[in-house]
Structure 1
Amino acid sequence: MAAAQTQRNRTPAPNSATWRDVTPARVVLIGGPEEYLGIRSMDRIRSQVRAASPDVELTRLNAGSYESGSLAMNVSPSLFGESKLIEVEGLESMNDAFLADGLAYLANPEPEAVLVLRHGGGVRGKKLLDAVKAGGWPVVDCQPLKKDADKTEFVVSEFKAAGRRIDSAAVQALVNAVGANLSELAAACSQLVADAATGVDARMVDRYYGGRIESTAFKVADAAMAGNGPVALSTLRHALATGADPVPLVAALAAKLRTLAKVAGTQGSSAQIARELGMQPWLVEQAQRDVRRWTPEGLVRSLQVTAEADAQVKGLSRDPVYAVEHAVTVIATSVRRG
């Protein structure tokens, strides 16, 4: 608690931070176009604030549809003295009302509040961004990881944080297979961490992700979980045609469904649930959003068909392709519409 209070009440000094080490302050700016790193940065700050102040009052605002006076109203001290966490997204499309209120707030930030600003890039709101930087508040720059060396460092760090070993050949194989999209690369790391009994080698990476060109197991799973059967099936068939093994395709479906099943019905903050389940907070928040589209019956049915497909692609069926297609179809049609 004391550490978080110190961070919030410190005298501003020039400070840049990374998405892995950013800590709460009265004002934090998370800028740059890489959405995944932005989400992870916000998750990290949120979890730290909630760990220090479990009763913190969280408010989310959008700078593009902001109404004048909302910021001041939400940061004002409450009668019960709860800490305040204000997350403002969409600064790249902020309206004039937010620009005016934001500049006024920066002149005298509330000591017991943490204001997190998310700017996706561009020149809109530059005056406000410059004011944050001039005030010395933490600034996180979320740029895409374009170089293989940066992606390699990302993978190594993910496994180190999870306390798992991955050899250098496996790191390179993973970056080559799924490195085009950072969120997919992170999800692949998470799946391998969950599935590996000890360490991860290149052979395991190749079994899960080798032989794919454009289609990936996660693209198939994402489309199915979104209820888009035609896209899921066409992506699946392309993946199989380009050499994907049915086993990791089913594993990707199972991983996403298991996450939903774990989170469904839980109560508490994403940080609390993440600690209880041993999951990343960003995965918990994503699952909390996704599970709203599912009925308990649909989720159970999808888990059952995926378990059957898992057994069939591992030797119980002469037609593993049909087993995967059937599972994808059932999952896509189990998603609640509207």
Structure 2
Amino acid sequence: MATVFGKVLLISGNAEFLAERTRRRAVDTIRSQQADCEIAESSAAGLGPGELAGLTSPSLFSSASALVLTDLQDLPEQPQAELLAYVADPSPDIAVVLVHGGGAKGRGLLDKLRKHPAVTEVKVEAPKYERDVVRWLREELRALGAVIDEQAATVLVTSVGQDLRSLAGAADQLIASVPPGSEISEEVVRRYFGGRAEVRGYEVADATLDGRIDIAIERARWAATAKVAPVLITSAMAAGLRQLVKLATAPPGLRDAELAAHVGAPPFKLRALRGQLQTWDPDGLRQALDHVAQADLDVKGASADPAYAVERMVLRIAALRRRPARG
């Protein structure tokens, strides 16, 4: 195993779960190489001039030390210069892990860090489209020593939703439930996750976008009873709305395969999306996305009643649909 001391690991990207997991694994690697290593964790946002030097100084109590610096995008200008000076000549007894949350902020600092040979970058971008999530899930299971075909992976994503943390948990459960080296079939997926598919977030989202408000509310309540995480429903709603926006703004003349790739949906789903789009206008889609963003905040802690936040989102979004034009 190559030493991590004297090196800098840069974790960048907007996939919070993947960034957290990569950071945790990096810390485990540091401890495996130096059990008594003193590890300091700090947010870059609050660092003042000179503080970084203290955090990257040798420990008085251990032969090696480490620094985990999160929120790198918020690092002030003076400490940025100090960090760049450090990575140009890193201490051989110190391991540094930097975590950047993605986006344009702090991009200049990232570009400068990437030029240094001591820096190794791990990018953790969240998959954008359903097909990308399916591909990520297959790679996740492959890394765990299992094989799953595209159809079975699609069924699992449909059942669990596109939240990577939930999918990683589902992958772990499948690995623990099948013989080592087995191929995970669609039948196996349905055996372990078929019950969840009955209350999956996408059924709530599709019913809402179709205007079937009674079914949407009923399924949202089933989901709450079955302890389905509300964030899976808000994530599904956001994904459905984004697909409608992509479809509405697609260049004319695309074939179905090209259009499906542009929208980020399987080709078989285009017909349903076209039907939904007939009852939506651009302003309604924009307002609906705003409601999803608020509901997502609510279910992640801003509301004392996440189930109510989901139902309110469903009602508000359904109210934005316009009636289909009469032929």
Q: Deviations over 1:127-148 (max 9, x none)?
A: 3212211113211222111244
Q: 1:39 to 1:95 in 2, by over 3 A?
A: same
In 1, are the aligned partners of 2:161 and 2:202 still within 8 Å (CA)?
A: no
Are the aligned partners of 2:36 and 2:62 in contact in 1 as well (CA < 8 Å)? no
CA RMSD of aligned residues (A): 3.2
- Which stretches of structure 1, 4 residues or more, deviate above 6 A after TM superposition? none
- Structure 1 distance, partners of 2:137, 2:124, is 17
Query: 2:24 maps to which residue?
Result: 43
Residue 194 (str. 1) matches residue 194 (str. 2): no
Residues 40/76 of structure 1: CA separation in 2 closer, same or farther (3 Å cut): same
User: Alpha-carbon deviation of 1:48?
Assistant: 1.5
Corresponding position of 1:184: 166
Q: What are the within-5 Å matches in structure 2 for residues 1-338 of structure 1?
A: 3-5=1-3, 7-9=4-6, 26-136=7-117, 137-196=119-178, 200-206=184-190, 207-214=194-201, 238-239=219-220, 241=222, 249=226
Alignment partners' CA distance in 2, 1:201 and 1:28: 37
Cα displacement string for residues 28-71 of structure 1 (whole angstroms, at most 9, x for unaligned residues):
21111111111122122112111111111111010111233222
Distance 1:153 1:189, change over 3 A: same
Give unmatched runs, 5+ long, in structure 2.
Answer: 204-215, 230-327
8 A contact 2:72–2:100 mirrored in 1:
yes
**Secondary structure of the residue that 1:64 maps to in structure 2?**
helix
Q: Distance in 1 between matches of 2:202 and 2:158?
A: 13
- Which blocks of at least 5 consecutive residues in structure 1 are unaligned? 10-25, 217-234, 253-338
Name the CA distance, whole Å, in 1 between partners of 2:64 and 2:53.
Answer: 14
Q: Secondary structure at the match of 1:41?
A: helix
Contact 2:5–2:92 under 8 Å retained in 1? yes
CA gap 1:149/1:238 in 2 versus in 1, 3 angstroms: closer
Code of the residue aligned with 1:141 in structure 2: it is K
Identity %: 30
CA contact (8 A) 1:64 1:91 kept: yes
Contact 1:99 1:125 in 2 (8 A): no
| TM-score normalised according to structure 2 size | 0.56
Cα distance in 2, alignment partners of residues 78 and 185 from structure 1? 39
Q: What secondary structure does 2:92 align onto? A: coil
Three-state SS of the structure 2 residue aligned to 1:4 is: coil
Aligned AA (2:106): G
How far 1:188 sits from its partner (Å)? 1.9
SS in 2 for 1:79: coil
Offset, 1:192:
2.8
Paired amino acid for 2:108: K
Deviations 1:132-188 (A, max 9, x none): 111132112221112444323332233333344545432221122234221221122
In structure 2, the residue corresponding to 1:111 is in which secondary structure?
Answer: coil
Spell out, residue by residue over 1:228-262, the C-alpha distance to the aligned partner (whole angstroms, 9 max, x if none).
xxxxxxx99745647x9x8xx4799xxxxxxxxxx
C-alpha distance in structure 2 between counterparts of 1:208 and 1:59, whole Å: 44
Q: Secondary structure at the match of 2:198?
A: coil
Matched residue pairs, number?
212
Specify whether residues 164 and 107 from structure 1 end up closer, same or farther in structure 2 by C-alpha distance, changes over 3 A only: closer
Deviation, structure 1 residue 196: 4.4
Deviations 1:75-98 (A, max 9, x none): 212234432221111112222343
Cα pair distance change 1:91/1:79, threshold 3 Å: closer
Name the amino acid aligned to 1:77.
P
Task: Report Cα offsets for 1:3-31 as digits up to 9, x if no partner.
Answer: 333x545xxxxxxxxxxxxxxxx112111
TM-score, with length taken from structure 1: 0.54
